[in-house]
Amino acid sequence: MDVEPITDHFAARVRDIDLGEPLTDDTVAEIEQAMARYAVLVFRNQPITDDQHATFARRFGPIDKGLLLGAKRKRRLSNPDVIDLANVDQEGNVLPASNIRNVSLIANQLWHSDSSFKDPPAKYSILCGMDLPAEGGQTEFADQRAAYDALSGDMKARIQDLVAEHWAYHSRNMLGGGGFSAEEMAALPPVHWPIVHTVPESGRKSLFVGIHTREIDGIATAEARMLLLDLLEHATERQFVYAHDWQANDVLMWDNQCTLHRGRPYDLGQLRELRRCSTEVVATHAG
């Protein structure tokens, strides 16, 4: 397995590996070491099936079942561990831009970490690109370890012991999705995580913010939201960002504990089919 850094400390391309084949323990350990250092790994030309996708993910921890908020529909995929992120209906037809399912897909264009609104949150995400639009639709990643390191001493002291509320429906409400039932919202109550935590695999401190954060414990809403916006603006400055231009059958793997990501806009009338598996954090975040 050959690991080629994209930058010195963030994102790397991995070659000479077939994700469709069973992984040895040594290969799993190599991938985990690369994840601890680079946080985002790019595997090109990996035409894996959904079952192979899920099998690969399981080597790194229990599966996060995940969810796509919005209109309920029958599963299009046979493997329940794989999340369908395609903008199509059951028959494979591209959905109109006004379809409510697109609210959740468009919400992925906001900076977030997967399942930060759940306990446990997601650890690693593995995203497969099947069919991609000719223009747009890139995925960007922001290194939250480097963003933390770049904070002033005063800001580090200010946020060190702060705890933020993450709520699944915050971003959907921002985009006008709304209309969620009390039953749906009760099934995903807000969770609370430290704004600063230590990533166990690397021992590095990292920010843990994103579009799902809407409150800070013990701080008035207006002040809290301005601080969260300031942190998010800082955390996604261009020097911390890797932008991925998709090719068919790319597989991306990233650590949600120390990265934010977002999709970029694309023509909603064009097919964009991706599928994701995520693993869960086994223990909750330590401050």
Neighbours of 203 (CB within 10 A): 8
Convert the pLDDT of each residue in 266-275 to its tens digit: 999 999 999 9
Superfamily assignment of 2-280 in CATH?
Clavaminate synthase-like (3.60.130.10)
pTM: 0.94
* Distance, CA of 9 to CA of 239 (rounded, Å): 12
Q: Where are the domains of the chain?
A: 2-280
The per-residue pLDDT for 68 is 57
For residue 224, the Cα-to-chain-centroid distance in whole angstroms is 23
The percent of residues above 70 in pLDDT, for the chain, comes to: 94
Nearest to 121 by CA among 237, 250, 215, 260: 260
Least confident of 116-120, 185-189, 195-199, 262-266: 185-189
Beta bridge partners of 194: 163
Contact indicator for 101, 68 with CB cutoff of 8 Å: yes
Question: What's the whole-number mean pLDDT along residues 248-265?
Answer: 97
Neighbours of 247 (CB within 10 A): 11
The per-residue pLDDT for 286 is 43
Question: What's the whole-number mean pLDDT along residues 216-229?
Answer: 98
Nearest to 65 by CA among 57, 73, 246: 57
Does residue 173 surpass a pLDDT of 90?
no
* Distance, CA of 171 to CA of 180 (rounded, Å): 13
Question: What's the whole-number mean pLDDT along residues 102-130?
Answer: 93
The percent of residues above 90 in pLDDT, for the chain, comes to: 77
Nearest to 267 by CA among 140, 136, 111: 136
Question: What's the whole-number mean pLDDT along residues 205-227?
Answer: 97
Does residue 212 surpass a pLDDT of 70?
yes
**Range 267-278 burial, b when 16+ CB lie within 10 A, else e:** ebeebbbbbbbb
pLDDT band at 65 (very low <50, low <70, confident <90, very high): confident
Nearest to 137 by CA among 94, 174, 179, 106: 106
Neighbours of 67 (CB within 10 A): 14
Question: What's the whole-number mean pLDDT along residues 10-30?
Answer: 97
Q: Which residue has the higher pLDDT, 252 or 76?
A: 252
Does residue 47 surpass a pLDDT of 60?
yes
Contact indicator for 130, 275 with CB cutoff of 8 Å: yes
The per-residue pLDDT for 287 is 43
pLDDT band at 106 (very low <50, low <70, confident <90, very high): confident
Neighbours of 157 (CB within 10 A): 10
Output the average pLDDT for the chain: 92
Does residue 158 surpass a pLDDT of 70?
yes
Least confident of 75-89, 135-149, 194-208, 246-260: 75-89
Give the burial class of 190: count Cβ atoms within 10 A of its Cβ; 0-12 exposed, 13-18 middle, 19 or more buried. middle
What tokens appear for 32 in the block?
A: 């985990």
Does residue 73 surpass a pLDDT of 80?
no
pLDDT band at 72 (very low <50, low <70, confident <90, very high): low
Sheet arrangement for strand 213-216? 191-194, 163-166, 213-216
